[in-house]
Structures are given as structure tokens and as C-alpha cells.
Amino acid sequence: MSIPHVKFDNKKDPEFYKELRKRVNSYFTDNNISKYANLNMKIKSAFMLSLYFVPFILMLTGVVDSNWGIIGMWALMGFGISGIGLSIMHDANHGSYSTNKSVNKLMGATLNFAGGYPLNWIIQHNVLHHTFTNIEHFDEDIEKKGVMRFTPNQEHKAIFKFQIFYAPILYAILTIYWVLSKDFEQLNRYEKLGLLKAQGVGYKKALFQIIIMKIAYLAVFIALPLFLLNVHWGIVIGGFLIMHAIAGLVLALIFQSAHVIEETEFFEADENNSVEENWAILQMRTTANFANGSTLFSWYIGGLNYQIEHHLFPTICHVHYKHISKIVKATAEEYGVPYHHHKTFLGALKSHFTLLNDLGTGKYDKRRKELRS
């Protein structure tokens, strides 16, 4: 097996991205603004870490000791995990948190607090998803073989007609699956593809790091509460699972609503691993924004409702996306490039689940067949 690679036709309509980069760079230079984290980002980082660790400390120290109070603390921690993932770890592992690589690595390592391995995330997200967005067999975010059908290019199975109903359950177990199994599966797959070597990390070293990290995570967030809390063990295990269910749902729904919706497109590479599209324009065709008018919501989810801006400029900290989105939208309109957007998050969710239903029941395939006939 070889490292995944797709050849894009970047000679096709190159003016759009060239002009867009020029305008975005001018925004930062003309206003003397850094592309990296500002004070607001640092305050947010402290808040998200506190949202995760303060409830945990309140439980362990007995300040909160009732069953329902402890369950509530676990629930808050679920939103804390999501906040860390969306607002801190995500930027840091893209290298957009700081100009200092050590700071990025440190903040990117906060993924360990959720039980995940940063290097696997970097490969799946930065290398595969961002490079090959919505391209079949290359973007792992849309590859759920035998479990769900996310694109019209995937085989249809009878079970998929129910996917609109079981999707939320699978989304809810996203992070607990990550903790228990996903990292090991990915590590083996990435080793075979040569992706670990490309990142300068050996398989044995990575496996050792994962095992140590998993043991430490389970010791702190399972064993320690079981030992210290004067409650039934079911409250601890149940709370832990509730925490991960909340985190899984938040993370999955945010990302799915940006790429797997009715408006976005899905691609397949030809026999030469080529896609006849400019990379930047492919990002515009496969990505969508939502709820750009909601300041608080955008603040919590790390600006990832500006997913278009993020995919075009992943090394720019998300605190700047709102400002550069005006430039991106105007430039897209000028060059006749699509700029997908839902006014509300609920609108994006509706589009996502409508697509899931249409792909699962075969309605999508029927419409496509009628259009071709």
C-alpha cells in the first residue's frame, strides 16, 4: 500500500484562489493583525479547560457529592471535552494557535484529556480530510463502510434505510470508541499506508505512546473517581459515558453539518488518482458554513461554523474567520464559485439528516437516475 495521493487540476480556474489569498493576506498586513491566537483565544482556552477540569475537581473533592450533582458534573465535562477539541486542540494541531511550534504541540496535546492520540488526529484530519475533502476512498471522515452511507458513490444496503434513526447513537459513541479502539485501528492502517513514516514517527514508538496515554487516561478519569467518590460505581461509569455521549454528539454534528449535507458535492478520483477540479474550488464545493450570525455559538465551537474559511486557510486561527469570511464570500461571488451557507445550525442539521435519509432509502439514487435519463 502507498501513501494516499490525488492530483488536482490547479491550472483550472487558478485566479480565484490566487486573488483570494492576496486579499486575505492584505487584510492582516493592512490592519497589522497576527494570523494566530489573540487575547480572546487565550481567555477562551482557559475557559474551556476550566469547563472540563473544574467539575471534575468539584466531584473528587466532595464539594459536589449528590448522585445527580455528580452526573451534572460529568455532563458539563462533556461540553468541556467538546470545547477543548473544537476551540483549542483543533487550532493547535493545525499550527494556527501560535507561531511557536512547542506551544502548538503543547496545546494540541490537550486531545489526550479526551483520551485521543494527537498524531492519529493530525493524519486523519489534516492530511486526509483537509487534502481530500469528500473524495471517496481518501477522506476517512466519509468512509464508514458497512455502517453508514454518507455519499452517493458508496454501495447502498437495505440497513441504511434506518441510518437516520441510528446515526445519533453512533455519533454519541464517537469519542468512547476513540478511547477504546479507534486509535489502535488507525495506527495499524496508517503504518501500512506509510503515513506514520511520513510524519517522522515509528510504529513501536507511537503504539507505546498510545498505550501509556490510554492507561493514564482511564486511571485518572475512571479509577480515581471510583476510588475517591462515595457513590455507587454505576454513577461513575454512567457519568463517564454521559460525558462521552455529549462530546461525541457535539463533535459529530458540528463536522457533519459542514460536509455531509444536501448542498455539498462528493467526488471520486479516476484510475490515475486525478480529480478534474482546482483544489480550492473543490473545497468550496464540498464545504458549507452555518449559523454565521450566532456569536456565542460560534465562540463555543471554535469558529467551525465558518468551515469554508477554515478549509481554505487552516493555518489561520479561528478567531479571525468571521472577519475574513466577508472577503471569501465576496470573492466567491465575483468569480462564480459556490459559497454554501445555512442561516441556522438547525437548518444545517435538517439538511444533514435529509441527505442521510435520501441516501439510506435510495431517494437520492432515484433522483440522480431520473436526471441522467
Amino acid sitting at position 61: T
pLDDT tier, 367 (very low <50, low <70, confident <90, very high otherwise): confident
pTM to 2 decimals? 0.94
| Stretch 108-131: mean pLDDT | 96
Query: What confidence tens digit (pLDDT) does each residue in 273-314 have?
Result: 999 999 999 999 999 999 999 999 999 999 999 999 999 999
Whether the Cβ atoms of residue 207 and residue 213 lie closer than 8 Å to each other = no
| Stretch 79-90: mean pLDDT | 97
Q: Given a cut of 70, is residue 373 above it in pLDDT?
A: no
| Stretch 55-84: mean pLDDT | 97
CA–CA separation, 318 and 322 (whole Å): 8
Residue 335: other Cβ atoms inside 10 A = 15
CA–CA separation, 184 and 316 (whole Å): 31
Q: Given a cut of 90, is residue 4 above it in pLDDT?
A: no
Give the residue extent of every domain in the chain: 7-372
- Mean pLDDT taken over the chain: 95
Q: Given a cut of 90, is residue 372 above it in pLDDT?
A: no
The residue behind cell 483520551 is 115
CA–CA separation, 247 and 173 (whole Å): 9
pLDDT at 54: 98
